[in-house]
């Protein structure tokens, strides 16, 4: 039986630090690395990232869309990224942001946290068809010991109109998401496996996170402007926060050693507030 994701995350971050690095084969980065805009360029980019990062960094976060854009060959590369990253000891958080209902959500769960070739240690999901719509994927994640990170308060400017809206019970939509996630983590030790996504650049969240007992993915470190001080300001030094960066590390490629060194610098800079 695989240990629950929350427990595996605590162990991984104790050994490797709490940084999460995105593997984002953005067309601009492929150009910057001198790689072609095709599946061969994608493969060289992604596997270079795995070589540079998977042996040192606790969590890697491939962005599924950039792989899917290359069709079946791109998805085949994603399968290799997941398998080789996990083999090297990194946890893989697949950034898919799926959100649907019923059998469709169950199929997403089977695809990404089930037993197939795209199965990852955790995924991102969207609760905006109602938190309960996530149940099939969450149930599958619990069966396999995977984690689920639910979008709560994101850094894109469009998100605030929905996420900060206040319902009839006086809670913001984001707080309602927090409370639903917290209820699923009750009693988990050392940490629950249902996490949240809260942007590192959102400023004052207005959220009560005290009962969460789960991890928080905090994208926005580096190129988007957030640093260690922002992580401290937004999250108050909570130990279960995973600061996330991608372009600020990946721009140092295609040299493997340079990418690895940039990731380790970012990890060490953030460790002062861990």
pLDDT at 97: 98
Phi, then psi, of 150 in degrees rounded to 5: -100, 130
Average pLDDT over residues 235-242: 86
Enzyme catalytic residues: 97
Instruction: Name the more confident of 272 and 56.
Output: 56
Of 34, 16, 14, 10, the closest CA to residue 85 belongs to 16
CATH code for the domain of 201: 3.20.20.70
Structural domain for 77, as ranges: 5-271
Task: Name the pLDDT band for 204 (thresholds 50, 70, 90).
Answer: confident
Phi, then psi, of 96 in degrees rounded to 5: -120, -20
Note the pLDDT tens digit of each residue in 18-46: 999 999 999 999 999 999 999 999 999 99
Note the pLDDT tens digit of each residue in 184-198: 999 999 999 999 999
pLDDT at 274 over 50: no
Note the pLDDT tens digit of each residue in 137-177: 999 999 999 999 999 999 898 999 999 999 999 999 999 99
Domain count, the chain: 1
Note the pLDDT tens digit of each residue in 243-269: 999 999 999 999 999 999 999 999 998
Quote the pTM value: 0.96
Question: Which residues, including other chains, have CB under 8 Å from residue 221's CB and lie 6 or more apart?
Answer: 200, 227, 230, 231, 243, 244, 245, 248, 266, 270
Identify whether the C-beta of residue 148 lies closer than 8 Å to the C-beta of residue 194: yes
Determine if the peptide bond prior to 190 is cis (ω within 30°): yes
């Amino acid at each position: 039986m695989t240990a629950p994701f929350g427990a595996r995350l605590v162990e991984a971050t104790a050994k490797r630090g709490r940084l999460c690095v995105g593997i984002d084969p953005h067309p601009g980065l492929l150009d910057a690395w001198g790689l072609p805009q095709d599946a061969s360029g994608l493969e060289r980019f992604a596997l270079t990232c795995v070589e540079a990062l998977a042996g040192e960094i606790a969590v890697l976060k491939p962005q599924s869309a950039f792989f899917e854009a290359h069709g079946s060959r791109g998805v085949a590369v994603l399968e290799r990224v997941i398998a080789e990253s996990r083999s090297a000891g990194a946890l893989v958080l697949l950034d898919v942001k799926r959100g649907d209902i019923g059998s469709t959500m169950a199929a997403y769960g089977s695809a990404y946290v089930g037993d197939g070739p795209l199965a990852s240690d955790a995924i991102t999901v969207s609760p905006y068809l109602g938190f309960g719509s996530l149940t099939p994927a969450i149930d599958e994640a619990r069966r396999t010991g995977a984690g689920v990170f639910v979008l709560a308060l994101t850094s894109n400017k469009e998100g605030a109109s929905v996420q900060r809206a206040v319902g009839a019970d006086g809670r913001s939509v984001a707080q309602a998401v927090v409370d639903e996630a917290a209820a699923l983590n009750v009693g988990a030790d050392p940490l629950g496996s249902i996490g949240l996504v809260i942007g590192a650049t959102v400023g004052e969240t207005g959220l009560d996170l005290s009962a969460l007992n789960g991890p928080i993915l905090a994208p926005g470190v580096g190129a988007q402007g957030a640093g260690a001080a922002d992580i401290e300001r937004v999250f108050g030094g909570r130990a279960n926060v995973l600061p996330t960066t991608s372009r600020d590390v990946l721009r140092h490629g295609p040299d493997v050693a340079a990418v690895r060194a940039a990731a380790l610098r970012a990890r060490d800079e953030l460790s002062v507030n861990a």
